[in-house]
Chains A and B, each alone.
Chain A
Amino acid sequence: GEEVAQTPKHLVRGEGQKAKLYCAPIKGHSYVFWYQQVLKNEFKFLISFQNENVFDETGMPKERFSAKCLPNSPCSLEIQATKLEDSAVYFCASSRRQGLLSYEQYFGPGTRLTVT
């Protein structure tokens, strides 16, 4: 598709429950990124993929967060045993590398996760 699709739009989980978010990147884009926006204007990078391979996972809280991008499937971000502090909007973005260091990322509409 021509847009990054994210599902669900909203997700409510009780503390300790699992949450799974999905992202379909733009067709032909080989990079996928996940960001967390906790408060207005505050973004945190979580993880990136080059095709199905993890490219950069320096932002991932490794104990409870995991992510995958498998061929012919939407990418996913899973949070085991959610905590109140995981409440945020999670954005997925994709990009197609252009030139040596030049690229732009296209963002999806986000998934709002509320942990109660």
Chain B
Amino acid sequence: DAKTTQPPSMDCAEGRAANLPCNHSTISGNEYVYWYRQIHSQGPQYIIHGLKNNETNEMASLIITEDRKSSTLILPHATLRDTAVYYCIPGSNDYKLSFGAGTTVTVRA
């Protein structure tokens, strides 16, 4: 499985955009990049995924570099409820998710 590197923590001001980076330089050509988050004491929540093209949904946007070695999750207008641990996870052929340490995002008022 591809390895990922994420900053351990970051702060964001409420109402501002939060940009969460992830390095996945060993990702293979057919592996998707998935983003999940875990709000305190809850089960992980799917956010978004992509392969090559940038993606956007109601929760976030995902920007993937052309060489696919890194990506950035963008929360356009962070709220206090977005405080969570965010995980960047390459998709594997056997479907299981390999969670790393993630980035602890704290949104401050």
Contact = CB atoms under 8 A, between A and B. Distances in A.
Given A41-B85, A41-B102, A101-B91, A110 B96 contact: no
A102 interface: yes
A105 B32 contact: no
A45 B32 CA distance: 19
A20 B1 CA distance: 31
Q: Contact size class for B?
A: 20 to 34
Contacts of A22: none
Interface string A7-41: 00000000000000000000000010101000011
Contacts of A110: 42-43
A104 B43 contact: no
Q: Which 4 A-B pairs have the closest CB atoms?
A: A107-B43, A43-B99, A104-B46, A45-B96
